[in-house]
Chains A and B, each alone.
Chain A
Amino acid sequence: MATSVLLACGLNEQKLPGFVHISEESNVDGSFLISCILGQRLRISNAGILLVCLQHHYKHYFNAGMRLGYNTNIFLGKTLDVIDVLRDMACQGLKSKWLCCPQGLSLTEQLVVDIRAQLEKNYASRSSYTILIDNLSILFNLGASKLQVQQFCQSLADLAKEHENLTVITKLSNSDIHTLTDNNVAKLGDVRIQVLRMKSGVFREVDGKLLIERVLDEGSYSCEQSRKEVLYKVNDRNVKIFNPGEIGVKV
């Protein structure tokens, strides 16, 4: 269902890079990537996943997963753990720890504490562990400053360095507006996936473009990088990818 897109992004392997960042331009939706990655990680036996829901609540990922051919509820509480910030806020209102900051911690600091707690609980018993953050730009809406978001990502990157089999995957929407934050988060990892809109406008058969940048080798004075560009189309039950120029106007 989503193998081709993961293959194009180089995220279909069992061991993923330590830090992967997805930059999503304005007016495009890259949420399908999170669902694709989630499905791929759930299929690996004994691979732990922590889903931090900031843009959508858990139900969204469940529904998206059902369309892509996997059931998250089977794994929930076993290999899949969820920090559902939006649901907590909706259920508990202003008493929610994300809003009232009971220990004097900011939202991002509280998130780091919770993520660390989950990691300590589950990491030892899993063959690998993946933390999915969807998405960072919601933190701005919830009152976090740019510096706090940067510090949050730095903490996540430190976690990835501390744990060998840990992968952190972040997504930031409106990356063209939050350029500096986007650059600073992207530099923490070796893989950056940019979800871009079509420059030529809207096209029925293609939704947008994925630009995948991967650092192959860090030299003393320059980096060796690979860049790959593919077009994508999100259908009802799958995601298709095309090479640039493969699809044309049919007369």
Chain B
Amino acid sequence: MLSNLVVTNQKVVLIIDQLNRERIALKFIGSLLHEQGEGAEVKSLPIGTQLQHVASFDAFLNELSNNNNNNASAQSPGEPTIKPSYNVILPTLADLLSYQTPAYIFDYLNKLRRSDHVRRVFLWASPAHLQHVDADYILAGCEYLAELVLRLETETTLALISRKPGGGVSNKRYNCQVSKTEFQVSPLMESKEAKEATIEEDNVKAADPGGTFKIELDEDEMVARNALTLPYEQHNKEPTEGNIIYTPDADDDFDDEDPDEDLLI
């Protein structure tokens, strides 16, 4: 399930949607959390025209901290202190940009990231809906802030970039099967057929350089070329020991005595 990959220890999660699913963004994230049993600890900002008021953003932050404090005070003194915290689902980036400046959004995202009362922050961005002139840079900025970037590439593939606290980064791609209620994923294996197809494609590209010379090879030519052993390859085939092959001449005069006998070696 996708939720196993997305609902992790990473705090800021950015979902880049290239499939125009923005209308179900909140439901999508909510379902991911629900699958992992965290559906009860979700808070989301009001959407629509209420986003134009900065006060509603501040009120939301205050609400998070107040709820946490209330929960903490409700715990009996003997119990071990559990730090309550929430999963925050932000409105989509397109909606945020309709009412607030990029600087404010980044600042707010950073505040949420630093807040002790926030377990995870989810932000949804659909490039097809980002109207800001600097949308590409803003999206790149969000990617920079995010610790987990889920990119819904096509109906059947997705990519997941995960930045771990130690500095390690993993970039994995997955196959996915999406139904209305389930999002199944499996690691994307490059099949042999796909590799062969790629090699064939490369060959086709090489065969069509756009020049006037015929530099591509027929099948027969290819076989002949592969069968030909080049001089340096012949050299490699010979035994590695330094044998001297000497064919004696008819006129050779061999001296049986050792010429170095007097050296006492």
Binding site for B on A (CB under 8 A): 146-147, 150-151, 154-155, 157-158, 161, 179-181, 183-184, 187, 215, 217-224
- Roughly how many angstroms separate A154 CA and B23 CA in the complex, as a whole number? 13
- Partner pick for B23 among A146, A161, A218, CB 8 A cutoff: A218
Contacts of A150 in B (CB 8 A): 98, 131
Given A154-B49, A158-B48, A183-B20, answer yes or no on A221-B179 (Cβ-Cβ < 8 Å): yes
Quick one: which of A150, A183, A221 has the most chain B CB within 10 A?
Answer: A221
- Roughly how many angstroms separate A150 CA and B51 CA in the complex, as a whole number? 13
A154 near B48 with CB under 8 A, answer yes
* Chain B interface category by residue count: 20 to 34
Quick one: which of A161, A184, A218, A220 has the most chain B CB within 10 A?
Answer: A220
Choose, from B75-83, B114-122, B180-188, B201-209, the stretch at the interface. B180-188
Choose, from B24-32, B61-69, B222-230, the stretch at the interface. B24-32
A222 near B21 with CB under 8 A, answer yes
Contacts of B28 in A (CB 8 A): 220-221
Contacts of B147 in A (CB 8 A): none
B131 near A224 with CB under 8 A, answer no
Contacts of B52 in A (CB 8 A): 151
B21 near A180 with CB under 8 A, answer no
Binding site for A on B (CB under 8 A): 20-24, 27-28, 30-31, 48-49, 52, 94-95, 98-99, 128-131, 178-183
- The B contact surface, by secondary structure, is helix
Using a Cβ cutoff of 8 Å, how many contacts connect chains A and B?
Answer: 69
A222 near B180 with CB under 8 A, answer yes
Further pairs besides A154-B48, A219-B27, A220-B28: 16, Cβ < 8 Å: A154-B95, A158-B49, A180-B128, A180-B131, A183-B20, A187-B22, A215-B23, A219-B24, A219-B180, A220-B27, A221-B24, A221-B179, A221-B182, A222-B180, A223-B23, A224-B180
B94 near A184 with CB under 8 A, answer yes
Shortest CB distance A153–B (Å): 10
Given A184-B94, A187-B23, answer yes or no on A221-B130 (Cβ-Cβ < 8 Å): no
Contacts of A224 in B (CB 8 A): 180
Closest chain B residue to A190, Cβ basis:
B23
24 sampled A-B residue pairs with Cβ under 8 A: A146-B131, A147-B98, A151-B52, A151-B99, A154-B95, A154-B98, A157-B48, A179-B128, A180-B129, A184-B94, A218-B24, A218-B27, A219-B27, A220-B27, A220-B31, A220-B180, A220-B181, A221-B24, A221-B178, A221-B180, A221-B181, A221-B182, A221-B183, A222-B21
Closest chain A residue to B25, Cβ basis:
A187
A222 near B178 with CB under 8 A, answer yes
Shortest CB distance B99–A (Å): 7
Given A184-B131, A187-B129, A221-B179, answer yes or no on A151-B27 (Cβ-Cβ < 8 Å): no
- Roughly how many angstroms separate A179 CA and B23 CA in the complex, as a whole number? 17
- Roughly how many angstroms separate A179 CA and B127 CA in the complex, as a whole number? 12
- Roughly how many angstroms separate A54 CA and B228 CA in the complex, as a whole number? 79
- Roughly how many angstroms separate A151 CA and B53 CA in the complex, as a whole number? 13
- Roughly how many angstroms separate A184 CA and B130 CA in the complex, as a whole number? 8
Contacts of A146 in B (CB 8 A): 131
Quick one: which of B31, B48, B130, B183 has the most chain A CB within 10 A?
Answer: B48
